[in-house]
Structure formats: C-alpha cells, structure tokens
Chains A and B, each alone.
Chain A
C-alpha cells in the first residue's frame, strides 16, 4: 500500500518536477541559514560560520541529484526527455514528419484493413454452436468434384450414416411476392430446405418457431420463416406478422418465424425460407439423377470427418451399383468444412492482397529507415559531440528509436482511421465477399495495429540508430570538419536498404502486372454474342395465373409484340439465361440415331430456352440450319438448336441437322427433339470455356420450364432509357409481376469481372505507391551522395573530367542498387508468382510482356529519380565546389 502511494507521489513529482526543485532549493537555503545562525551564536566570524555551514551541508548539487533521483521516477523522466527531444526534432522538420507519418499511415491502414477482413471472413469461426463440426457434403464423379446432391441420394445417406448428428438439404429458389399494403410486388431470393437445416446449424428463430417434420411434407400447410432483413424491410418489425399469411407465387404461406439479424446463411441474398418437400416437384423428390441440393451435416462430437464420409461413400457406392444403368448417378461423396465451403473462393485473393499490403508496409518502413539514416548523417556531428560528453551508446540508440516509434505511432493512429474507412470500403465494394456483414474493426484489429506499428517502428529505427551511434567519435568529428568522402559505411547501408526496397517493389509490380493483364484478358473475352446496347431483365411466370401453357405463351407473345413497337428497339427476344450469366443447369440426353451408349455413360448439355428472335437479338451467329419459327410453339415444340461445342463433342463426323435428341424436358419419360440449327458458341461464364448447350422453344409454354424468362432488348443507341417504357409495358400486362435484374449485357460482363478488376486495381495501386516510395528513396540517396561528394567532383573536374563522365558516374552509382534490387526482385517474383496462378485467367505467372514492362517501368522511374541529382552533380562549378566547406 505504502509502496503504491510512494510510486504515485513519485509519478506526481515527475510530472511537476519544476515546482519540487524550487521547493527543495528553498528548504536547503533555509537550513543553511539556520546553520549559519547557530555558528554565529557559537561566536564564529560571519565568513567562518558560512564556510562551516557549507561544509556540514555537503555538496548541494549531489544532494539535489540524490533528491531528484529519489523524488521522481528517473526512467520515466528519461523517457519523457527522449520524447520531448523526438517531438522537437520532428517539429523542426514538419514536412518530413508529416510525409513519413502519412506513408506509414497508408501502410499500416491498408494492412489493418486487410487483416480485419481476413480475420472476420476466413479465420473467425461461423456464428453457430460447435462450428467445427459442420461440413458441406457434395457428390462427386470424374467430371465434377463438388456437385450438388440428388434428393434421393440425400435421403439414402440420412438413413445409412451414423457419423452425423443431423444432415440437411437446401437449394436456392425464388418467389414473386405480391403487392401488399402499398408495397410494390417484388422478386425474393429464397431458400427451400429440409425441416432440420436450422437445427443442424444450431440456430433457432428469435420470433416464432422453426420448421417441424410436419411442415416438410408434400401435403402440409405452407409455412415460411422470414430473415431479419425482410422482416425489417417489408413488415416494419411488426411481430403481428407471425401467423399471418404472405402471397408467394400466388400461393398463401403462413409466417411461422423470424430469424435473428446475424443469421445470414449462406449469404444475405436469401431473405425467406420455405420447407423442402413443398417446393421440390414430386417427380424429383426421390430422384437419384437430379443433382440440385446443397447438403450440410453436423458431425457427432466424437466422430472424425473422414470416418463419417467413408460411410457415406460406401452408401453412395451401393446406389451407384444399383442404379448406374438407369441414369446419371454420382459415384462418390466429398465433405468440406462448412467455413471453407463458404469462404474458400476468396482465400487466395485475400491473401494476395494481404501480402501486397505487407510488402507495402515493409517498403514504407525501409523508406522511413532510409530517411532516418540520411537524417542521422546530418546529426552526425551532434552525436559525436554528445558521445564525447559522455552520452552512452544505448542512450543514443534509445533516442533514435523513440523518434521512429513516434513517427510510426502517429502513422498508426492515422492508419487506424484509414483502416476504418478502408475496411468499410472493402466490404461494400467487394461484390460477393462472403460474411461481409460480420466484418468490422474490433479490438483484435487494434492489437494488430499496435503490433505492426511497434514492429515497423523498431524495424525502421534500429538500423539508423545503430549505424549512427556506432561510428568512432574522433573520426566522426574529423570527418565532418573536412567534409570530403564522408559517411561511406552509412551510404552503403542506405544503398542496401534501397536494394531491398526496389526488390520488394519489383515483386509487387510483377504481381500487379499479372493480375491486371489477367483482368484485361477477361475483359477482352468474346462472349460469343454482342454486348453493346443490349438490355436484359428477368421475370418469372408462376402461380395460378400461369399454370396453363396458353397463359405463359400469351403473356410472352404480347410482351414481345409491344416491346418491339417501342421506339428505339431494334430487336427483342426471350431466353432463360443470357451468355455470361452462369451455367444454370443441364439435362441428360441421348441421340436415338446413335448406337446405345455403354452402361453408365451419360451425356449432358446445358439447357436453354429461346424464342424465334432471341439469337438475332443477341447476334449469336447461325452456323447451320435455321432458328425456331413462329409456329413452333405450345404442343408443336419438338425442335432443338445446339451450339458448335455440342456438335464437336457429340456429332464429330456427321451433320446434326435432322438428327434427334431424346430429353426429359416436357415430361419425365422424355421426347424426341429434332435438331434444326447449330449456333455459335457462347460462354456461360466469362472465365470458362464453352460447354455443349441445347435450346428449346420458350413458347412451348411448359409451366416451370418456360416461366423463367430473360427479356433481351437491343437498341441502336444507349439502351438504358428503354428500361422504364419496357417496365411499363410489363406492368400494363400484369401489374402484380415483379421484374428483377434490369442490367445491360455490359453490366453482366462487368459484374463477372468485377472481382478480378478489384484485386488487380488494388494491387496495382499498392505497387504504384511502392514504386513512388522506391523512387523517392533513390532520389534521396543520390542527392545526399552528390552533396557529400561535391568537393571530390570539383577536384575531378578541375583535373579535367568531363561533365558527361561525371553525369554517367553519378547515374551509375545511383542505379546500381536499383539494378541489384531488380535482379533480386525478379528472382523472387519468379519463385512467388506461381502462388497466384489460381486467380490468373489466361495469363502465365511468367508472362513475358508483364516482366518486360516491369523491368522497363522500374528502369525508367529509377533513372528519372537519379537523373536530377546526377545532373546537379554534373553542373557543379569546380571553383565553387573547392571553395565550399
């Protein structure tokens, strides 16, 4: 207790030491006076009295020193002194301080942002109880390593497995939600899941109840659970919605529950959940051929994932052996931890970005280090004098470290602000970043920021501190007094730092160049159709109003007719998926004209629908045969169009026109469709190669198949102004029909290249920043060198050296670290870039153009950085230089 009190008093004394010193002085004075008085009373002469008193009192200064040491906290005072000194030094060059802090702030801010995102997205466990026991389970065969699961397989697994506590299945779906209470109709992304999905995940609604087995069967009353966002957005937080009905695709569903706001699985796009068996068509309820569902399993506490999956694999193998001859059955099963399944895709891009910012931070530290070395050179004389006066080396190092730590601390504080902005920017601009909702700056981020701030501070400060304090006092004093050829060791230190900086910059530049080139390649991909002035929008014809083929066909025909009459529309067509918008789904088919396929071999092609004008609207070229005709509709629909890839794979040596495809398109038994045309290949996804595709007439009006529509409208000029008139046409035909995804083809392409452009742009800006830092470093070192060697150059010139020679000499001197750094950086890049191969599209990690460009960029910018000081050296007037001291 008394120790604590003492510490407190000493702390107080440290802070207000001026007052204490004065008080102590007065006390000493009064004691001296009393002593003198006493001596006078004993009869001494005044001088003698004073002399004796002083002798008895002891050395005033020593007493004062002892008192000071005991009164305050010496280490704290020393620290305070270092701090004051550092602040004063920095304030003397506010420009330097501000730039250094800004550079550190950018480095630290970017690192903290990326760390926060990685921590929240990749590292933090899922917000479910025992998340480590959750796995995603997929089907597997030779072609697809992670295929969705057939419902029949799922139910067989459930029965056969003992390793999982529970296992659930779900898939994406969507509903037209009718207008209500003055709110417009809208299309909702929804999930349909087996009743136990939520108990498998381990979550329950905040309001109402979860699904029960009774909800999840074909005859049950229709139930729905809302996510928080829908509850908030559409129902105004009103708990009265529980037990009420909502109209989805024309059917009434009773709201039985609302999920908490943090539950966003698999991502925030799903706003509503409905039970599985009500939504899945009866004929595929037990199918082993229709691979449509995502399966989530919860392992039993003591069960190994590998053991559990072996059991499932055995079960799947039984299904395969039993049904292989009858249809496409998957051979194997594979499980992935659920977290990995949700975030696996962004792992590489995130780590690439983190490496880039750490590189940047490292370069910033090296740069700061470099600047401090330069500054300590300017303070060399001061250092030498202080050493001569008895300042210890440790003391000098501590002082330098305080300075760099102070810069980094300032940078760290500003960096945290940057990180706050940066993190928010990242999560809002990164399209499709999983778990983006859970990303926010937390205490971990602050700890991380402190950690890297301290590391950067020590890193940047230690080298200059050691180099500054290490030099021999005498030689330092002498060196400076002469001012010729000085600071050789310091210069080599700076050059080494620069080499490192340049090498890191080269690595960053190469990575950025590769990513950017890959992005350009992606942008340049030919989808196989026009993307100029084309507008697309989705609508889904569902429910009672569209339960008969005539109803669907009437709507589509009328719509197309009216849209084609809108001024500015050049062509309009219908399909279910436009190129570049995803794979969607495939169907098995076989060719009756061909010999029967061997047992277990199945052919698949992606299925599409089209009206007669779709291909010309998108300018997809006709290769052979013809497009659909106007009378190929309703029952008269047994015609199909295929793409070139289809012909390549399945009709390699014959004419497909007139042949037939047998497909279970209209009915589960399947019908024969005559191939009437072959069209050019289109990519279903921008970074994937073409796959076999087959088109059926959308005007067949098959409920379910033909109800998914994308209206495609091409115009001669900007097509966006047509969006409103077209929507008005749709509203005039069916006011209750929501329209979704009103996008131009360019936007669709842009969305699929957005992430690639995002990563490329970010890394490129980091690389640009590094290049700037390295160039500034080069410039700084060479300028310093020129100043140092002014007299030497003067002598050389006086002895007859030509200006060009001097220029070349200085230029080479400055470029040497850049060249060595370039070589080192290239070596490192060649070793490292293979790590980012998975995020590169159509670009080799050793792309010659990129490497050449990087070399050129670096050479040009470093030459530019060196040219100014070298030029200045060449302009030196020998006489002036020799006279200058």
Chain B
C-alpha cells in the first residue's frame, strides 16, 4: 500500500513539474484540471492527492508559491518552477525514460519464445 503511494507520488510530482514547465505558473486547481486533461481524463485527481505532492516539491525547493489573482479575479496560490525544479525535472524525465525503456524490453513479445 505504501509502495503504491510512493510510486504514484513519484510520477505525480514528475507530472506536476512537467505541467509547470510547459504552462508556466499555475494555481492548484488549474494544475489538477490540466493534468486530468493531458491524461485524457484517465486520471481523476482530487486535491487530497495533489496537495501532498505540491507540499513535498515546495519543501524540496523544486517549486515556489505565492498568492496572486486568477483569470476570473479569484485570489489563488500560484506555483512556479524554480531553477532547482527545472534540474529535477530533467533528471527525473531522464530516469523515467530509462526505467520505462527497460521495463518495455522485458515486456516486448519478440524476446519470448
């Protein structure tokens, strides 16, 4: 159970970083919406899941937050990527690609039989 959460949190933080990198500063609600959208609505993100990931990133210094005003004039907390976050994104992207490539080789049917 704990393991699953860890994996999920790991990939979630990568998604968050990536989203912030492409879209610039975002508030929590926007981030959740955007991630759901990109996943083709395969993922349903409620805030209880997203918030801990954001908190962890902030504590690590990968993102920074400040209060601002949203498109439709609502007060909202905006998250943006820091320099450290950008480095972390590069490193994690690389790690993830490597990991999926390895797993993909194991799963590719041609190796069997």
Q: Do A and B come from one complex?
A: yes
**A71 contacts across to B, CB distance below 8 A:** 55, 59
Q: Is A236 an interface residue (CB 8 A)?
A: no
Query: Which of B29, B59, B60, B62 is A31 in contact with, Cβ under 8 Å?
Result: B29
Q: Is A390 an interface residue (CB 8 A)?
A: no
Q: By the criterion CB–CB under 8 Å, are A31 and B47 in contact?
A: yes
Determine, out of A53-61, A354-362, A443-451, A803-811, the stretch whose residues face the partner at the interface: A53-61
Bound: A34/B29 CA distance, A: 7
Interface string of A36-59 (1 = CB under 8 A from B): 011000000000000000001111
- Number of B residues near A (Cβ < 8 Å) is 24
Interface string of A105-119 (1 = CB under 8 A from B): 000000000000000
Q: By the criterion CB–CB under 8 Å, are A62 and B27 in contact?
A: no
Q: By the criterion CB–CB under 8 Å, are B75 and A5 in contact?
A: no
Q: Is A28 an interface residue (CB 8 A)?
A: yes
Bound: A10/B58 CA distance, A: 11
Q: Is B24 an interface residue (CB 8 A)?
A: no
Bound: A243/B27 CA distance, A: 87
Distance to closest chain A CB from B67 (angstroms): 8
Bound: A125/B2 CA distance, A: 56
Q: Is A27 an interface residue (CB 8 A)?
A: yes
Interface string of B29-69 (1 = CB under 8 A from A): 11001000000000000111001100110111110000000
**A62 contacts across to B, CB distance below 8 A:** 48
Q: Is B12 an interface residue (CB 8 A)?
A: no
Nearest B residue to A69, CB-CB: B52
Query: Which of A9, A30, A66 is B48 in contact with, Cβ under 8 Å?
Result: A66
Q: By the criterion CB–CB under 8 Å, are B74 and A30 in contact?
A: yes
Q: By the criterion CB–CB under 8 Å, are B48 and A59 in contact?
A: yes
Q: By the criterion CB–CB under 8 Å, are B52 and A27 in contact?
A: no
Query: Which of A10, A56, A58, A63 is B59 in contact with, Cβ under 8 Å?
Result: A10
Bound: A67/B52 CA distance, A: 6
**B56 contacts across to A, CB distance below 8 A:** 6, 70
**A31 contacts across to B, CB distance below 8 A:** 27-29, 47, 76
Q: By the criterion CB–CB under 8 Å, are B76 and A30 in contact?
A: yes
**A6 contacts across to B, CB distance below 8 A:** 56, 59-60
Q: Is B98 an interface residue (CB 8 A)?
A: no
Query: Which of A28, A33, A63, A67 is B74 in contact with, Cβ under 8 Å?
Result: A33
Q: By the criterion CB–CB under 8 Å, are A56 and B46 in contact?
A: yes
Distance to closest chain B CB from A69 (angstroms): 9
Q: Is A691 an interface residue (CB 8 A)?
A: no
Bound: A283/B60 CA distance, A: 88
**A35 contacts across to B, CB distance below 8 A:** 29
Bound: A59/B58 CA distance, A: 23
Bound: A57/B33 CA distance, A: 12
Q: By the criterion CB–CB under 8 Å, are B60 and A27 in contact?
A: no
**A475 contacts across to B, CB distance below 8 A:** none
Q: Is A159 an interface residue (CB 8 A)?
A: no
Q: By the criterion CB–CB under 8 Å, are B74 and A5 in contact?
A: no
- Number of A residues near B (Cβ < 8 Å) is 25
Distance to closest chain B CB from A347 (angstroms): 58
**A838 contacts across to B, CB distance below 8 A:** none
Bound: A62/B48 CA distance, A: 8
Nearest A residue to B76, CB-CB: A30
Q: By the criterion CB–CB under 8 Å, are A30 and B75 in contact?
A: yes
Interface string of B15-27 (1 = CB under 8 A from A): 0000000000001
**A67 contacts across to B, CB distance below 8 A:** 51-52, 55
Nearest B residue to A29, CB-CB: B75
Distance to closest chain A CB from B23 (angstroms): 16
Q: Is A2 an interface residue (CB 8 A)?
A: yes
- Would A58 and B46 be within 8 Å (CB), given that A2-B61, A66-B52, A67-B52 are in contact? yes
Q: By the criterion CB–CB under 8 Å, are B48 and A5 in contact?
A: no
Q: Which residues of A (788-809) have their CB < 8 Å from a CB of B?
A: none
Distance to closest chain B CB from A19 (angstroms): 13
**A10 contacts across to B, CB distance below 8 A:** 59
Distance to closest chain B CB from A524 (angstroms): 77
Q: Is B77 an interface residue (CB 8 A)?
A: yes
**A27 contacts across to B, CB distance below 8 A:** 28, 76-77
Bound: A2/B29 CA distance, A: 26
**B60 contacts across to A, CB distance below 8 A:** 2, 5-6
Nearest B residue to A56, CB-CB: B46
Nearest B residue to A35, CB-CB: B29
- Would A28 and B47 be within 8 Å (CB), given that A9-B59, A10-B59 are in contact? yes
Nearest B residue to A31, CB-CB: B29
Bound: A2/B74 CA distance, A: 33
Query: Which of B51, B62, B76, B84 is A34 in contact with, Cβ under 8 Å?
Result: B76
Q: Is B72 an interface residue (CB 8 A)?
A: yes
Q: By the criterion CB–CB under 8 Å, are A63 and B72 in contact?
A: no
Q: By the criterion CB–CB under 8 Å, are A63 and B51 in contact?
A: yes
Bound: A37/B70 CA distance, A: 12
Query: Which of B30, B55, B59, B72 is A5 in contact with, Cβ under 8 Å?
Result: B59
Q: By the criterion CB–CB under 8 Å, are B48 and A63 in contact?
A: yes
21 pairs, A vs B, C-beta closer than 8 Å? A2-B84, A5-B60, A6-B56, A9-B58, A10-B59, A26-B75, A30-B74, A30-B76, A31-B27, A31-B28, A31-B47, A34-B27, A34-B30, A34-B70, A35-B29, A56-B47, A57-B46, A62-B48, A67-B52, A70-B55, A71-B55
Give me the 5 closest cross-chain CB pairs, A-B, nearest first.
A63-B48, A58-B48, A6-B59, A9-B59, A58-B46
Known: A27-B28, A31-B76, A38-B33. 9 other contacts (CB 8 A): A2-B61, A5-B61, A6-B60, A26-B77, A34-B72, A37-B72, A58-B47, A58-B48, A67-B52
